[in-house]
Amino acid sequence: MEFQDTRPVAHPENRDEPVVSPQAVPAADSVQSSPLPGLGLLGALSVALAACGGGGGGSGGGSTGGGTTPTPVNYNYAPADAARFLLQAQFAFKDSDLAALNAKGYDGWLTAQFDTPANQTGVAWMNAQGHNIPTSDGNYFGSSPGDFMIWHALMTDTDQLRKRCALAVSEMMVASLNPFGGWWPSYVIAGYWDTLNAHVFGNFRTLLEQITLTPAVGAFLNTAGNLKEDPATGREPDENYAREVMQLFTIGLYELNIDGTPKTDLLGNKKETYTQSDISNLARVFTGYDWDWSKVTWTNVSWLDYDVPSTEFATSPMAFNADNHSMLEVKFLGVTIPANTPGPDALKIALDTLFNHPNVGPFFGRQMIQRLVTSNPSPAYVSRVAAKFNDNGSGVRGDLKAVWRAILLDDEARTLPTNNTAGKLREPMIRLAQFARTFDVYSTNGKWEIYDLSGSGWGIGQSPLRSPSVFNFFRPGYVPPQTAIAANGDVAPEFQLHNETTVAGFINFFTSVMQDGYGDVKPDYTAMMPNISNSQALLDWMNLHLSANQVSPATIALIKAAIDVHPIDASSTDFNKRDRICNCILLLMSCPEYLIQK
């Protein structure tokens, strides 16, 4: 099947997306025809949503064309609804984000985000920091600049939707900085992160191929240096990537219905998607690749008796060497790649086969819903997202913009659940990024030296791009034992990181960060000062920005009572003012109503 990256397309009818209320549609004579009719343009019209996130009863009607003289728009979302949306789509939000959202509407805001150019790449940021200059302490073997890079991106980059989606994909198509050895590990992981960001609003097929060819995945899953079979010695192609690209990156273990539930036979048995033979065959496709040293320059440095390469290999797709590629026939998933098919052609057939497998939509869609919205999406929700993966409305499969849109605009995402089971545990790294953005962290020296925070006793038990294995920090099917979650048959992936040690480690570490920052990275509470003596206003602001008002009035009242024991006014010391702010943050961001994002 053909695929293509799509431009922002006209928004097809979709009953799950905001619809234009009839009375708001401009009179016909004021409407000009437009080559790109759709809600993206309608965002500039004076329209109102039928209901916040509701609109489920509509049958479209979005194709009403562009207007000539738009009048000022305000969707007037309830603040909690707007905040809730922004905290699913981003790490945190500013009041300017709320204004933009109210001006454009959910859909128009997404279009604007999709059209926003990406921020500086991770590699460019590290270069600007000078991390590419060899130093006698051996930075070319160090991984810490990779940590600085990703924390800086999560805490400051303005293209938040892109970063949030890229981080979500990094938890499914995992490459981890942890085991990287050899030259420039920080650049190898930055190349992977930049590749995610470059394609996360493109097409899944392109993303899959580009990620497959990253030096990071090559190193992490052993396609770098993977050699064809050698009958003389009994050597076989490495099977690691062949297995994990199927099990984890694309189709998963069992055949799925479009709603993400497993297909079963009459006896209730699940049907496996592939066998060991499929893996051993597919492994041949991934032979012949290795890091590409062709663009590298080697520099003599005084403290070494060998030269140091420049970093281009880390950001170049892996190079293909036909001499090392298996020319055997490949039979997998019902497809035959004939013997002697050139390597690049074989790769295309293999990735097309995976991309076109009916599992990809529900398998990818469900996990992305879990990362952004809720741990236990209904099958119908998964089905709607998978349908958009399969066809964006214009006949294109794998259009990721359509997928993100479907995830975030679905009724189930936009409607605040009222049951006592929905939602997800906020990931520790996202909590920290949210704190940083909400409270204006800055670097005293511009270096952003935040290291690996995976430590459980002191740290947050998680660090971006440092999954302990290709299975991510947690599994999409993780069930916390002996809980009502388990009894309900639900899953709670992020709970795999939650235990007696990590909960203590996080609170202790976070308390320290609130007060002192982390190294050169410091919070700036200036914006809190206008409300400093008004504890209710202070807490209301924080509750909206941290939890979309999901911390109940009863809990806010308890916190206010505790805070008010220590009155603060304009003449109070800076120290006491800061204590008040930190007490509010600690209580809000530790309480379970915040931790479970609904």
Partner 1 sequence: MYNNRIPDLNRRAFMKRAAAIAGLGAAAPIALNLASVGEAAAMDATDYKAIVCCFFYGGNDYANTVIPYDLPNYDLYSAIRGGASGRQRGGVALGHSELDGTVLTTLTPQTLTNDIRYALAPELTGVASLFNTGHAAIQLNVGPLVVPLTLAQYQSNSKAYPQPPKLFSHNDQSSIWQSLGSEGATVGWGGRMGDLAMASNGQSLMTCISASGNAVFVSGNDTLQYQISTDGAVPIWPAKGWVFGSSETSTLLKQLITEPRSHVMENAFNVVTKRSMDMEAIVNAALDPVTLTTHFDQTNDFAKQFEIVARLIAARNALGTKRQVFFVSIGGFDNHDGLMTNHPKLMATFNSAITSFYNATVELGVANKVTTFTASDFGRTLAYNGDGSDHGWGSHHFVIGGAVKGGQFYGTAPHISLETDDQVGQGRLLPSTAVDQMAATLGRWFGLSGSEITSVLPNIGNFATANLGFMG
Alpha-carbon span 452 to 440, nearest angstrom: 21
Q: Which of residues 156-195 bind partner 1 (CB under 8 A)?
A: 179
**70 vs 262 by CB, closer to partner 1:** 262
Binding-site member from 94, 331, 498, 522 for partner 1 (CB under 8 A): 498
**345 vs 516 by CB, closer to partner 1:** 516
Q: How far is CA 486 from the centre of its chain?
A: 26
Q: Which of residues 472-491 bind partner 1 (CB under 8 A)?
A: 475, 477-486, 488, 490-491
| Choices 52-60, 193-201, 314-322, 575-583; region in contact with partner 1 by CB under 8 A | 575-583
User: Counting beta carbons within 10 angstroms of the beta carbon of residue 478, is it exposed (0 to 12), middle (13 to 18) or buried (19 or more)?
Assistant: middle
Task: Decide if 424 contacts 30 (C-beta within 8 A).
Answer: no
- The count of residues interacting with partner 1 (CB under 8 A) is 83
Least distance in Å: CB of 493 to partner 1? 11
Instruction: Name the token pair of 545.
Output: 């920005």
Binding-site member from 127, 247, 257, 533 for partner 1 (CB under 8 A): 247
Q: Which is it for the CA torsion 98, 103, 106, 109, positive or negative?
A: negative
Task: Decide if 63 contacts 33 (C-beta within 8 A).
Answer: no
**74 vs 277 by CB, closer to partner 1:** 277
The strand ranges marked E within 157-253 are none
**490 vs 540 by CB, closer to partner 1:** 490
Would you tell me how many other CB atoms lie within 10 Å of the CB of residue 128? 11
Binding-site member from 499, 516, 536, 537 for partner 1 (CB under 8 A): 499
**486 vs 527 by CB, closer to partner 1:** 486
| Choices 27-35, 59-67, 120-128, 583-591; region in contact with partner 1 by CB under 8 A | 583-591
**131 vs 325 by CB, closer to partner 1:** 325
Helix (H) or strand (E) holding 354: helix 343-355
Q: Is 99 in the site for partner 1 (CB under 8 A)?
A: no
Q: Is 504 in the site for partner 1 (CB under 8 A)?
A: yes
Reduced to 3 states (helix: H, G, I; strand: E, B; else coil), residue 146 is helix
Q: In 3D, which of 102, 184, 173 has the Cα closest to residue 143? A: 184
Q: Is 124 in the site for partner 1 (CB under 8 A)?
A: no
Q: Is 279 in the site for partner 1 (CB under 8 A)?
A: yes
| Choices 31-39, 223-231, 300-308, 442-450; region in contact with partner 1 by CB under 8 A | 223-231
Least distance in Å: CB of 73 to partner 1? 36
Q: Is 226 in the site for partner 1 (CB under 8 A)?
A: yes
- Enumerate residues 6+ apart whose C-beta is below 8 A from 77: 52, 85, 101, 102
Alpha-carbon span 23 to 333, nearest angstrom: 52
Binding-site member from 59, 276, 340, 571 for partner 1 (CB under 8 A): 276
Alpha-carbon span 337 to 485, nearest angstrom: 45
Q: Is 144 in the site for partner 1 (CB under 8 A)?
A: no
Q: Which of residues 417-446 bind partner 1 (CB under 8 A)?
A: 420-421, 423-425
Least distance in Å: CB of 598 to partner 1? 8
Least distance in Å: CB of 519 to partner 1? 20
Q: How far is CA 308 from the centre of its chain?
A: 34
Q: Is 469 in the site for partner 1 (CB under 8 A)?
A: yes
Instruction: Name the token pair of 67.
Output: 């207007």
Site string for partner 1, 543-562 (x = CB under 8 A): ------------x--xx-xx
**339 vs 562 by CB, closer to partner 1:** 562
Task: Decide if 216 contacts 318 (C-beta within 8 A).
Answer: no
Alpha-carbon span 423 to 55, nearest angstrom: 21
Least distance in Å: CB of 593 to partner 1? 6
Q: How far is CA 368 from CA 200, 392, 444, 465, 527, in A?
A: 12, 17, 35, 17, 33
Q: Is 320 in the site for partner 1 (CB under 8 A)?
A: no
Q: Which of residues 508-527 bind partner 1 (CB under 8 A)?
A: 508, 511, 515
Task: Decide if 17 contacts 107 (C-beta within 8 A).
Answer: yes
Q: Is 243 in the site for partner 1 (CB under 8 A)?
A: yes
